Chain A
Amino acid sequence: MTQPKARWLEITAIVVVIAAVVRGLTVEADVTQGDVQRIMYVHVPAAWLAFLAFGVTVVGSVAWLRTRRRTWDRLAAASAEIGVVFTGLAILAGMIWARPVWGQFWTWEPRLVTTALLFFVYLGYLALRRAVLDPEQRARRAAIMGIVAFIQIPIVYQSVNWWRSLHQTSSRNSIDGPLRLTLWLAVLAFTFAYAVMLSRRLELARLEDELEQARLAGTPDVAGAAITAPTLEGVTRG
């Protein structure tokens, strides 16, 4: 059952997301790009959320290595999954924006390539978590990968400045007035949505942990059972 606090968070997130979407679709159009620029109000917050989610993953990873508390490992895993989803969504929205602006859905330009790499590396992180069965080993390896993978974030962020290409530089500097306000509202809305997703994903992670422990506790000790001498109840009774 959902806690009242979580329920309020969900309602707030829905209201703010709806407000941001309405605002994004009705605010005045950009002078140079026209209406198609409205894609920015979902594309940029999705990319921001991916960065935030991977940032939380690195915090959880470092905290697990220091404390060895399962809660931190669950936080890292939950946030990484959300980060992968939002990286994928940001790439898709970016491709749709690129078609009318650049004339093609995809081009091998630095921001796109580094973001695609980010997506696949964190997919690898999730695959690693599924591949290792021992919880301690899994948490250790994932924590190390979670920290190493985070090195990509500043590279992706700075790629538009280091290797000037098709992708525009930071949107926050290229717009002002009501457009900038709309972008900040959308970022706030997506952050609320992230909080809801993280809270749900953490609940799932806790349940999966309980399930794993219950299954381990219920599994018979195969080697021990094999060497246990058979009882002679039937024989002695006879």
Chain B
Amino acid sequence: MADLVAAQVDNAWWYVSAAYVIILGGMAGFVAVLGLRIRRARQALDDLR
């Protein structure tokens, strides 16, 4: 029943776009934050040495 209702969704691409942006953006954001944390950790190590 739920599947039949979904088949009539007009703005399906809006939902698809939102889901893709959230997932891909989340992945890219996580990698970017990791890069930033690595840079900060290296900097802190250099400062200690």
Contact = CB atoms under 8 A, between A and B. Distances in A.
**Chain A bound to chain B:** yes
Interface of A: 17, 21, 24-25, 32-39, 42-43, 46, 82, 85, 88-89, 92-93, 96-97, 99-103, 166, 193, 196-197, 200-201, 203-204, 207-208, 210-211, 214-215, 218
7 contacts: A36-B12, A39-B20, A89-B27, A100-B12, A100-B15, A204-B37, A204-B41
Main secondary structure of the interface of A (DSSP, over half): helix
A193 B2 contact: no
Contacts of B11: 100
Given A33-B7, A46-B23, A197-B31, 19 more contacts: A17-B24, A24-B20, A25-B20, A34-B7, A36-B6, A36-B15, A85-B30, A93-B22, A97-B15, A97-B19, A100-B12, A101-B3, A101-B6, A103-B5, A204-B34, A207-B41, A211-B48, A214-B49, A218-B48
Size class of the contact patch on chain B: 20 to 34
B48 A39 contact: no
A96 B26 contact: no
B37 to A, nearest CB: 5
Contacts of B31: 196-197, 200
A42 B24 contact: yes
B38 to A, nearest CB: 5
A166 B6 CA distance: 13
Contacts, number: 107
B6 to A, nearest CB: 4
Contacts of B48: 211, 214-215, 218
Given A34-B9, A200-B31, A211-B41, A99 B22 contact: no
B3 A32 contact: yes
Contact of B45 (A39, A103, A207): A207
Contacts of A24: 20
Contacts of B18: 96
A81 to B, nearest CB: 9
A196 B11 CA distance: 34
Contact of B6 (A34, A43, A85, A197): A34
A65 to B, nearest CB: 27
